[in-house]
Amino acid sequence: MPNSDIQILLVEDNKSDAMLTIRALKKHNLGNNIVHLIDGAEALDFIFAKGKYECRDINAKPKVIFLDLKMPKVSGLEVLSIIKSDERTKLIPVVMMTSSREEKDVIESHKLGVNSYVVKPVDFGNFSQTIADLGFYWLVVNNPPQH
Amino acid sequence: MIKIKTKEETSIPGKCFALGDEGRLTGSGHNDVTQNSENEQYARHLAAIVKFSDDAIFSKSLDGIIKSWNKGGEKMFGYTASQAVGKNISLIIPDRFITEEQSILQRICNNEIIEHFETIRRKKNGQEFYVSLTVSPLKNSEGKITGVSKIVRDITSGKRAEAQLINSNKELVFQNSEKEKRAAELIIANKELVFQNSEKEKRAAELIVANKELVFQNGEKEKRAGELVISNEVLVFQNGEKEKRAAEVIVANKELAFQNLEKEKRAAELIIANKELAFQNDEKEKRAIELEIVNRELESFSYSVSHDLRAPLRAINGFTQVLIEEYIDQFNEDAKGLLDVVVANSKKMGQLIDNLLEFSRVGKKPVTLANINIRALVDAVINELKATEPERVFIISINPLENINGDRNMLKQVWINLISNAFKYTSKKQNAVIEIGSYRENDQCIYYVKDNGAGFDMQYYDKMFGVFQRLHSNNDFEGTGVGLAIILKIITKHNGKVWAEGRVDEGACFYISLPVIN
């Protein structure tokens, strides 16, 4: 797997949501080099080059991580906490994607240093537009610090 | 030798006479005639002396018979010469002195002369008296003693004086002794009196000091008495007042006793009621705990709903739209219409879920009070809502709106729901006329939103504020039936009230009242 130009790391346990997200991104020409992982544990292995990703270059960081909040094994909040408390990964932008507008989740995510918190709309039109806006912003508009 | 006492002492030495009756000289030692005539004359003189002497002069024989008795004897003893002569001498001698007379006679016979022999004799009347006897012998011519003469002198007065003197002396001696004793006693008594005087003077001095003190104390006591008189008057008045008060207190006490009884009854009832309340409290605590558990379950449930129900819904909606977008040429018009229904219903379900979550979230949020400019809030809400329906025309009149203390986000939600309802239910009217205002009623501020929309049937008023309850069909007016329920919940959390008035096709007016909190 070519590591050097990973654009988006999508961590989503719901296959439908993952498909719709990837479709929305591709529709807006933002779908190149998307890595989709299905739970938090795998996400941490990938990010920190552990387990089955131990051969991966830890320095090949995604430009943005789309992280689902509610996942089995390791939840989105736990993954966020680990990424943001590690010097090697804390600068990676993380967008929390969730179905819920639960206030405590919003607050907790921001305390942990989330870069965006997005409620996934039920209506696909809205959903698609929201995903496209996020991709465009973090991949094109935003200026990350140079490594 | 016989001595005869006269004024001129005469003695006839060598001659001895024996006196017979009437002083006649009955014996003589001489014989010559010349001599005889001289001797007779002499004898007559002597007889005269004897006859008139105050002393009793008499003679007696040796056997005691009285032989002569002169006038002096008559005066002294009370016996005439004729009564005495011839009688025994015991006539004038008290019986106890008879032996004495015999001893005198014996002594005479022994030629003794007895002079001034003091003894006691007895008068004719029996009275005894002191006498001084001079006894001399009478001798015949042979010189033989034939009798005795006696000269008796009354010495009673002298004896009496002597006895009186002796007695007086004795008395004086006794009195002297008594007076000396008395004098000694008086000396002791005097000393005692001197001592007592000294003591009394000391005591007097002390008494003077004590008197002064008493005088001072009297003065003080008079002052105090004066004060006490005033105090007494006050006390008398106070006593009167206290008696009145006591009477009142007695009445009050009876009342209290009655009330106490009532209170005891009430207390007994309260104890029972308390037990009941304690039981109910326990029950409520159990219930509260149960509610807490149920609430947590609900929270968990709503979380699940928001997350897990929305995801498949999103998939239904999403993939249907993907079908429409990417495979549109493979569906006929009827199929396309059906796909649109799927999309619309999934949207609708999404709204229901969103509203339901909003409703449950409102219940959990605490109220954070702030002073809110309601007019500014209402203006902002109207502008936002107008922007969603730019093609419609609204005639909105806003009367003065009072500011109020409340939770900004919650009250904004209330105004959004109220005004959006007004917009929604006036959508079928030619002109949407909306009036907004506020007024005061006691400590409540009442806001209202009135419209000329579809209104409602007051018959179903009770259902209007329930969750998912609607008085209009979705065909007429879209909605989820949560808006008014959220308003009710928020206003209730603000300790306010919500009510409404309406008539079908004539419009509705919704009221909310909020307490004015400073």
- Residues contacting residue B486 through CB under 8 Å, at least 6 positions apart: B355, B358, B359, B362, B413, B414, B417
Which of A14, A122, A123, A127 is most worth mutating to test chain B (most B CB atoms within 10 A of its CB)?
A122
Q: Supply the pLDDT for residue B417.
A: 94
- Residues B68-99 pLDDT 10s: 898 889 989 999 988 999 999 888 999 888 88
Tell me whether residues B306 and A101 touch, CB distance under 8 A.
yes
Whether residue B444 lies within 8 A of chain A, CB to CB, comes out as: no
Classify strands B370-372 and B404-406 as parallel, antiparallel or unpaired.
antiparallel
How many CB atoms sit inside 10 A of residue B396's CB?
Answer: 18
State whether residue B119 is helix, strand or coil.
strand
- What is the Cα–Cα distance from B6 to B53, expressed in whole angstroms? 10
A104–chain B Cβ distance below 8 A for any pair: no
Q: Residue B120: helix, strand or coil by DSSP?
A: strand
Q: Which of B67, B70, B56 is nearest to B22 (CA)?
A: B70
Q: What is the CA radius of gyration of chain B?
A: 89
DSSP B204-224: HHHHHHHHHHHHHHHHHHHHH
Using the beta-carbon criterion (under 8 Å), do A123 and B347 form an inter-chain contact? yes
Tens digit of pLDDT for each residue in B469-493? 777 877 778 787 888 989 999 999 9
Buried b (16+ CB within 10 A) or exposed e, B279-301: eeeeeeeeeeeeeeeeeeeeeee
CB B437 within 8 A of CB B400: yes
- Residue partners of B418: CB distance under 8 A and separation at least 6: B449, B487, B510, B512
Run of H or E residues at A126: helix A124-136
Rg (C-alpha) for chain A, rounded Å, is 14
pTM for the full predicted model: 0.46
Q: Which of B302, B314, B356 to mutate to test the interface with A (most CBs of A within 10 A)?
A: B314
- Determine whether A143 is exposed, middle or buried from the number of CB atoms within 10 Å of its CB (0-12, 13-18, 19+): exposed
List the structure tokens of B387. 């922007």
CB proximity A14 to B under 8 Å = yes
Alpha-carbon gap, residue B419 to B487, rounded angstroms: 12
Rounded average pLDDT per 10-residue block, chain B, 518 residues: 44 44 46 70 84 88 89 90 90 88 85 86 90 88 86 84 84 89 90 91 90 90 87 86 87 87 88 89 89 79 73 89 89 89 88 81 84 95 93 93 93 94 92 95 94 90 81 78 89 94 93 88
Q: Measure in Å the smallest separation between the Cα of B315 and chain A Cα atoms.
A: 6
